[in-house]
Amino acid sequence: MLDSSGSVGDNLSKMVSFCKTILANADIDSGNVKVGILSFNDKANIEFHMTNYSTKLGVFQAIDNISRKSSGGTDIATAFMIVRTEMFTSPHDRDNVSNVLMIITDGEKSNVNERNTAEEANKTRNEQIRIFAIVSNLNKKQEPELLKIVTQPPTDNIMDFTQCVNLSSQVFQTTCKEGNILHNISNAEIDKKVLELRKTLEIRKNETARYRRMKVSATDDRLSSAVMGYVGVMVIVSIISLFVFFDCVSVWQYHYDT
């Protein structure tokens, strides 16, 4: 969210350029980070959605096209409402990724729709959207307004422009670690992976070593095994020979008697 109200004045040009500084470490080209920008004064204007650009070059060119003219009052409440209901929703938002909202502002309190600021900020945070406030010339006078809108603790989520380098690393390293595990994976894809894993781990009875041993005779080179084999053959041959001998004797006696 980019504050373009009249109180910003000539700082708006610096604030627009600052957006690119914040995104310096963002992994946009691989799809890990999606970027959208809404500018606001007494009205809210979606400059581009998170689905409009898939490369850092495209995002930076879109930022360069944002107007540097500041005017009007400050209606943060409506800006929160539009971001929550039109940008952090399907098809522009993604499931199972961390959502971060950065408000780049001069820190001046709302003078339009002021009574709804805290409520709209709270609704936005309740959607699991982390809210940072990045303020030009941060001072104590701005704290009450900022405390209404940022995610707690405020010491981690209210920063001055001079902290931009640290913020860039902090935001995109932290949120990407939180979101990458399930990044861009649908429930159908998860079910498919589980099914493939089950097939890989499935134990097939006819492929087990025990089953193969039941079906295949194994060779045995031990001398004792050979001796037992020979003795067995000799016993079988002897028994068969005896039967043949007795049969021959019976036949001979029959012919002799007749």
Are the C-beta atoms of 142 and 107 separated by less than 8 Å? yes
Residues 105-161: pLDDT tens digits? 888 878 888 889 999 999 999 999 999 888 877 777 777 888 889 998 888 888 877
What DSSP character marks residue 26? -
Residues 165-194: pLDDT tens digits? 555 555 655 444 443 333 344 455 555 655
Mean pLDDT confidence for 78-99: 92
Percent of the chain with pLDDT over 70: 71
Burial (CB count <10 Å: 0-12, 13-18, 19+), residue 83: buried
Specify the range with the lowest mean pLDDT, choosing from 115-119, 199-203, 238-242: 199-203
Sign of CA dihedral 211, 217, 223, 226: positive
Mean pLDDT confidence for 222-249: 74
Are the C-beta atoms of 164 and 138 separated by less than 8 Å? no
Q: So what's the pLDDT on residue 220? A: 57
pTM surpassing 0.75? no
Locate the domains of the chain by residue range: 2-190, 205-257
Are the C-beta atoms of 135 and 100 separated by less than 8 Å? no
**How far is Cα of residue 151 from the mean position of the Cα atoms in its chain?**
22
pLDDT confidence band for 198 (50 / 70 / 90): low
Q: DSSP string of 160-228?
A: EGGGHHHHHHHHHHHHHHHHGGGTT--HHHHHHHHHHHHHHHPPPGGGSHHHHHHHSPPP---HHHHHH
Q: So what's the pLDDT on residue 179? A: 38
Which one, of 52, 16, 57, 13, lies nearest residue 35 by Cα?
Answer: 52
Residue appearing with tokens 């944002």:
66
Q: So what's the pLDDT on residue 183? A: 38
Judged against a pLDDT cut of 80, whether residue 35 lies above it is answered with yes
Whole-number average pLDDT of the chain: 79
Which one, of 85, 68, 125, 70, lies nearest residue 101 by Cα?
Answer: 125
Q: DSSP string of 153-178?
A: PHHHHEEEGGGHHHHHHHHHHHHHHH
Among 3.40.50.1980, 1.10.3720.10, 3.60.20.10, 3.40.50.410, name the CATH number for the domain at 2-190: 3.40.50.410
Q: So what's the pLDDT on residue 125? A: 94
